[in-house]
Amino acid sequence: MKADTHPDYHMITVKMTDGTEFQTRSTWGSEGDTMTLEIDPTSHPAWTGGTRQVNEGGRVAAFNKRFAGLNLKK
């Protein structure tokens, strides 16, 4: 096995949206850093069964609204 090809694993703290924390090994950040999650299994609709619009009215909706009255038929 080649030397110095694998990333450096170290202990970090992961903070969930409900405030609970746990420690795990990761290549993210540096030793002792805290990763704060914005979406996790306790709040994500895929696991909670709810629905949530992350992006209401995206680019396609804005385009359709802007050009709704345009008629291209001859």
Residue 66 forms part of a structural domain: no
Q: In this structure, is residue 29 part of a structural domain? A: yes
φ/ψ of residue 68, rounded to 5: -65, -35
How many domains in the chain?
A: 1
Name the pTM for this structure.
0.56
Determine the Cα–Cα distance for residues 54 and 8; give it in Å rounded to an integer.
34
Domain assignment present for residue 61? The answer is: no
Whether 63 is covered by a domain: the verdict is no
Q: Is residue 8 part of a domain?
A: yes
State the Cα torsion 43-46-50-51 to the nearest 10°: 110
The pLDDT value recorded for residue 43 is: 78
Given pLDDT bands bounded at 50, 70 and 90, which one contains residue 21?
very high
The domain containing residue 19 runs over which residues? 1-43
Average pLDDT of the chain?
83
Q: 25 near 9, Cβ under 8 Å?
A: yes
18, part of any domain: yes
CB 32 within 8 A of CB 48: no
CA geometry: angle 59, 65, 67, nearest 5 deg: 100
